[in-house]
Amino acid sequence: MTIPERYNVSSLLDRNLEAGRANRIAISCGDERVTYRELIRRVNRFASALDSHGFRRDERVVMVLNDSPAFPVAFFGAIRAGCVPVPANPLLKWEDQRYFLMDSYAQAVVVDHEHYEKVQRALDGHLGRVEVIVANGTIPGSTSLDEFLRSGRDDFAPADTHRDDMAFWLYSSGSTGNPKGVVHLHHDIPFCCEAYGRHVLKIRDTDVTFAASKLFHAYGLGANMYFPYWVGASTVLYPGRPAPQAIFEVIQRQRPTLFFSVPTFYNALLNVPDARRYDLSSIRLCVSAAEALPPEIWRRWKETFGHALCDGIGTTELLHIFISNTPEATQPGSSGRPVPGYDVRVVDDDGQPVAPGHAGHLHVRGDSAAPFYWHFHEKSKATMVGDWMRTGDWYRIGEDGFYYSEGRSDDMMKVGGLWVSPVAMENALMEHVAVLEAAVVGVPVQGLNKMKAFVILREDRQGSPALIEELQQWCKERLARYQYPQLIEFVPDLPKTVTGKIQRFKLRQMQPARSSP
């Protein structure tokens, strides 16, 4: 696609006025309905208020917001003014919010009323000027978002930015250390819309999107904001935490056609008692991403609701999904095939392509790739190599041309001189009738590497030495004989990020439970 040299990505909203969609519903949030005309009016008011308050180009605006209309207003309003929005996970502690504010040199923070105290604590002792704008409520002595919008104007031309200027940042969670600020440019969103949005989702203006994954995360940002806005579709926003029963109720009430979530949450939805009683008939496509989707979850979802989950892989660095199954071509257990617009390769430690069926490092290139990490120069050099992005994932290409995850590169381990895949073991374990969820990591035992499975059992099953042996034999019969967990611990839950990814580094640090057989 061709993007003009002078381009501001907030102008994607204006396309909907030009296409005659001014009165179409852009956002449904609880009982509130926001049309495209009203959304653009609020975006213009936010942008012009920033401008009149003296905010300058490239100054950062941190967003500590739940999913509500305030989020797209602040996000696109900041971009329209030439500033750089920086969404932050609102559920994190004040120490984390302080990191985002200080690392980004934020000049403003837009915060939901319920998260105000942690932001104020994060700003204690900070000597710089940070304007605090409170959304979805009021705090005495602070500026409310409604007040801020009233100080703006209904019309405001987008800042004259270059398509390669900074547009927004997203902080990657990372497995260890401080989060990295992933810098994205104005042209990245249109590229994703024309790549994944057009070719995989086939999203159209009659669609209604709903994502259990939140907007601060790269996956949710595309799924429930810029993909639908690009074509003039409607979005459903849910400000609360994504509890399975609440998400089912939103689906029944709002009738989305596209639903997005992550494997662990699909599993949680399936485990709701009498899940079949919920009506999901409005949905034409269910999308899964953020981590590999176990074939067992794919099968159970298909059997329960009649929908085939469309799994794919994306990263914050590439902004959205670059390998995906499609409704026309799906292989359970795989991430799919490269999305049009992206080149993908699987290479060995020396950078040479590996043969089909063999695992290697996954590299991707495409025009939505971030140019660098903020304040992580060495990591940027190690990850962004020429026009290729090293994802840190370990993959193999099947004879069918589909790509199969073998886990993160740093999760792969050699046991007895042979590479073993934690993902393959997890998938096998989850096919066992006693297992609800499983995660496998490598742990040192007397100087040797061993694979250890942390297993959540179904409510009607109890852990025992006999069950451990049964699960080990189960893996041996379905995988290579050496691909089985030498150690198994039964646990009540697994440590996860708010986006549903298993935090394997925490599992490696866990001490064996005393009650484990």
Average the pLDDT over each of 167-181, 306-320, 429-443 and give the range with the smallest value: 167-181
Q: Is the pLDDT of residue 106 over 90?
A: yes
Return the sign of the alpha-carbon dihedral for residues 271, 272, 273, 279. Answer: negative
- What is the distance between the alpha carbons of residues 464 and 455, in angstroms, rounded to a whole number? 12
For residues 347 and 272, what is the distance between their CA atoms, to the nearest angstrom? 41
What burial class does residue 342 get, using C-beta atoms within 10 Å of its C-beta: 0-12 exposed, 13-18 middle, 19+ buried?
buried
Give the CA-trace dihedral at 414, 418, 422, 426, to 10 degrees.
-150
Domain residue extents for the chain:
1-21+29-186, 201-364+394-410, 413-509
Task: Tell me what pLDDT residue 421 has.
Answer: 78
- For the chain, give the mean pLDDT: 93
Total Cβ atoms within 10 A of residue 105: 14
Q: What mean pLDDT is predicted for residues 293-299?
A: 92
Mean pLDDT of 82-89: 97
Query: With 90 as the cut, is the pLDDT of residue 407 above it?
Result: no
Side chain identity, residue 317: E
Residue 448: pLDDT band by 50, 70, 90 thresholds? Answer: low
Same fold? 1-21+29-186, 201-364+394-410: yes
Instruction: List the strands of the sheet with 166-172, edge to edge.
Output: 166-172, 180-185, 373-374
Q: What is the pLDDT of residue 516?
A: 40
Give the residue carrying structure tokens 């250890």: 452
Are 228 and 235 within 8 A, CB to CB? yes
In DSSP terms, which residues pair with 359 in a beta bridge? 396
pLDDT of residue 417: 54
> Where would I find the beta strands (DSSP E) of 46-187?
60-64, 84-87, 108-112, 131-135, 143-144, 166-172, 180-185
Torsion sign, CA atoms 94, 95, 100, 102? positive
User: How far, in Å, CA of 360 to CA of 80, rounded?
Assistant: 42
What distance lies between CA 462 and its chain's CA centroid? 34
Q: Is the pLDDT of residue 415 over 80?
A: no
Which of 272-281, 288-297, 435-444 has maximum average pLDDT? 272-281
Burial track 367-402 (b if 16+ CB lie within 10 A, e otherwise): bbbbebbbebeeebeebbeeebbbbbbbbbbeeeeb
Provide the 3-class DSSP secondary structure of residue 13.
Answer: coil
Average pLDDT over residues 317-341: 97
pLDDT at position 504: 82
The answer to whether domain 201-364+394-410 has CATH 3.40.50.12780 is yes
Closest CA to 494 of 481, 477, 509, 506: 506
Length of the chain: 517
Q: Are 321 and 290 in contact (CB under 8 A)?
A: no
CATH number of 413-509: 3.30.300.30
Is the confidence at residue 445, as pLDDT, over 80?
no
Higher pLDDT, 408 or 395: 395
Model pLDDT, residue 517: 39
At residue 497 the predicted structure's pLDDT band, cuts being 50, 70 and 90, is confident
Residues pairing with 445 in the sheet: 448
Q: Counting Cβ atoms within 10 Å, is residue 433 exposed (0-12), middle (13-18) or buried (19+)?
A: exposed
Q: What band does 414 get if pLDDT is binned at 50, 70 and 90?
A: low
- What pLDDT score does 172 carry? 87
DSSP letter at 327?
S
- β-strand 448-457 against 435-445: which pairing, if any? antiparallel
Q: What is the pLDDT of residues 216-227, one digit of tens each?
A: 999 999 999 999
The two tokens of residue 169 are 């940042």
Span 356-368, average pLDDT: 95
**Phi, psi dihedrals of residue 301, rounded to the nearest 5°:** -65, -45
* Share of residues in the chain with pLDDT > 90 (%): 80
pLDDT of residue 365: 98
Give the pLDDT of residue 251. 98
Q: For residue 55, give Cα distances in angstroms to 61, 90, 148, 246, 259.
A: 10, 24, 13, 39, 37
How does residue 512 score in pLDDT terms, banded at 50, 70 and 90?
low
3-state secondary structure of 108: strand
Task: Specify the residue for token string 């309003």.
Answer: 77
Question: pLDDT value at position 443?
Answer: 84
8 Å CB contact between 443 and 420: no
At 515 the pLDDT is: 37
- Fold observed for domain 1-21+29-186: Rossmann fold (3.40.50)
What are the DSSP calls for 236-281, one per residue? Answer: E---S---HHHHHHHHHHH--SEEEE-HHHHHHHHTSTTGGGS--T
Using CA atoms, how far apart are residues 209 and 225, in angstroms rounded to an integer?
9
Identify the pLDDT of residue 418: 61
What local confidence, expressed as pLDDT, does residue 23 receive? Answer: 98
The dihedral over CA atoms of 61, 66, 72, 78, expressed in degrees to the nearest 10, equals: -10
Statement: residue 362 has pLDDT above 90: yes
Has residue 229 got a pLDDT over 60? yes
- According to DSSP H, which parts of 91-217 are helical? 94-103, 116-123, 145-150, 188-192
Reduce the DSSP state of residue 17 to 3 states and report it.
Answer: helix
**Mean pLDDT (whole number) for 114-128:** 93
CA angle, residues 233, 236, 237, in degrees to nearest 5: 130
User: pLDDT digit string (tens) for 230-286?
Assistant: 999 999 999 999 999 999 999 999 999 999 999 889 989 999 999 999 999 999 999
Greater pLDDT, 196 or 516: 196
